[in-house]
Chain A
């Protein structure tokens, strides 16, 4: 296992009025690892993601992202900055594609940062000067590569909203990957997939870890996916961490079994 830390979550707390959604949660995700966050419904998993990606501002605690030998304090950054400068990409529990744009366009929008710079912040691109033409070609090439990897090459020019559900899930992951992230946060990527599709998803995520050498943070209910690919698992219940460890350790942990199955009757 690689020991270099990627993300330090330190005493993260998120309060909504009287509700303590996340309670002094601390864990570390490592580079090139798949870290899963699991827990019963309402345990605060998605809230952790929303804090991490800037959609919520945490009530307390620190989120330190290791990037290029320095640590970025994500809790103080705007959501779009976290994605652009921090390199944290995410997908959503209920898919958020750009349904009226084509599959290829979805992947091009994800490369906004690179292409915007190449187009000279629009001015160069507008008058056809500068490196934009080449950059756009490279962007299309990159999109084509990802379409091949998720098996959607033939659907490139279709509207994203017309794709079947499983394909939309894969496309959302590819779109997140097109931002060149350091850390990919996936919010229930296997939800609504059939067994064959979720096996394909496992392959895709393992390939991302192997080939793209990035860290993955995963929220998932599908235990086949979680146990099959995770390097580490963090278990939440009522906003608190109740266990952390390898899949084998988690499977045998009595606190986890209690949270999922309830206490045996006395």
Chain B
């Protein structure tokens, strides 16, 4: 690039940075004799503008390469996907027992696994069927509340309530599916976004049943085949530790929860991978590619869409029930749009339709804010920058290559 053009480009970028930086970092609130005052700190603005200016020059000086439209997979990653998957499972199973593992790490891994499960579930709807859903958290909330309420009113345990949570979420998925069958793309996104918010607001305002903003407390923990993981069992029964004759420690419950979600997530993976290779999975993908052609081949688009919504919702319902039992307490606050956006970001960044991509993206998106804790208020800035970087580096997601559901050569 010519020097003059580069200078002009960089000056423009710096100007945009100036406009953005003044409201973002230009002022600071300070305590001034009992009240709050505003202090300007234009030096910060100067630093930001200078950094953008120099950064733009640096990018301009980098050797240019033509953007590749079709990414050749991820080379190594996609060639060894089976080996990688098995390694991943082995590491996941061994994680709580590895040296250097801590309660905090297992807890974090549990969170990552919840998002992986949600990502795989949403992948069916967005990645395979191509139905953009911005209200996925609604099904997650339905699952969580279904368990919490059935525990509160009917004294059901986690394992008894799990199928109920999933089934209820799936029913809600089908119910939502009906009015939006004719919508596609942006319109579908807006309606599902609204649905997510409606669900949250109902939970917030239907105080007599859901407890409103106070949420639901004392949600029972899962048991190991009827053995509670606690210091002492209610009603004089045996606990897990007593049954196996090992000393009780609080970390056992954390590790148990981790394995519960690991099993749920692996089950999700098995089911979604299997479904993709069945006629229904191919119909989902065909629907994403061309709905009119689907109809001309005798495929009922209504059934195909509703089944995608139902399966996605079912999996979110399971994840929601697990979330409730893990937290022991739920309130509408946990089911804000932010959650839907995070799960969608995991699916899109991972590469829509890719199972491994979802895992990588979930690990990055969930752990990155954790690592950034020392950066305090710049944490979200780092997070945003990472997302932009992934999209520039791999516009179609981390794992962009699609593996065919069936091959002629292998049969």
Q: Which residues of A contact B (CB under 8 A)?
A: 53-55, 79-81, 83-85, 89-90, 92, 96-102, 104-105, 108-113, 115-116, 119, 122, 125-126, 132, 136-137, 140, 143-144, 147, 153, 156-157, 175-176, 179
Contact = CB atoms under 8 A, between A and B. Distances in A.
A122 to B, nearest CB: 5
B283 interface: yes
Contacts of A80: 294-295, 298-301
26 contacts: A54-B295, A80-B298, A83-B297, A92-B292, A98-B286, A98-B289, A100-B289, A100-B402, A101-B404, A104-B406, A104-B408, A105-B285, A105-B404, A105-B406, A108-B282, A109-B283, A115-B279, A119-B279, A122-B278, A125-B274, A126-B275, A126-B278, A137-B411, A140-B411, A153-B408, A156-B407
B279 A105 contact: no
Nearest to A82: B298
Contact of A144 (B301, B307, B402, B408): B408
A126 B280 CA distance: 10
Nearest to B302: A80
B406 A83 contact: no
Contact of A175 (B297, B299, B408): B297
Interface string B296-336: 11111100000100000000000000000000000000000
B409 interface: yes
Contact of B408 (A98, A101, A157, A176): A157
Nearest to B290: A96
A97 B293 contact: yes
A160 B274 CA distance: 23
Given A97-B293, A104-B408, 4 more contacts: A80-B301, A83-B295, A99-B289, A111-B279
Contacts of B406: 102, 104-105, 108, 136, 140
B271 interface: yes
Contacts of B295: 54-55, 79-80, 83
B297 A109 contact: yes
Given A89-B297, A100-B289, A175-B297, A157 B407 contact: yes
Interface of B: 271, 274-275, 278-280, 282-283, 285-286, 288-290, 292-301, 307, 402, 404-409, 411
Nearest to A53: B296
A54 B405 CA distance: 30
Contacts of A132: 278
Contacts of B408: 104, 140, 143-144, 147, 153, 156-157
Contact of B285 (A53, A100, A137): A100
Max chain A CB contacts within 10 Å: which of B298, B299, B405?
Answer: B298
Nearest to B410: A157
Contact of A122 (B275, B285, B286, B411): B275
Contacts of B290: 96-99
A201 B202 CA distance: 60
Contacts of A115: 279
Contacts of B299: 80, 84, 109, 112
Contacts of A122: 275, 278-280, 307
B282 A105 contact: yes
A28 B184 CA distance: 38
Best-buried of B286, B296, B307 by chain A (most CB within 10 Å): B296
Contacts of B286: 98, 101, 109
B353 to A, nearest CB: 9
A126 B274 contact: yes
A146 to B, nearest CB: 12
A215 to B, nearest CB: 17
A153 B299 CA distance: 25
A3 B79 CA distance: 58
B174 to A, nearest CB: 15
A92 B275 CA distance: 29
Given A101-B285, A104-B404, A140-B411, A116 B279 contact: yes
A110 B279 CA distance: 10
Contact of B298 (A83, A126, A153): A83
A126 B288 CA distance: 22
Contacts of A53: 296
Nearest to B296: A90
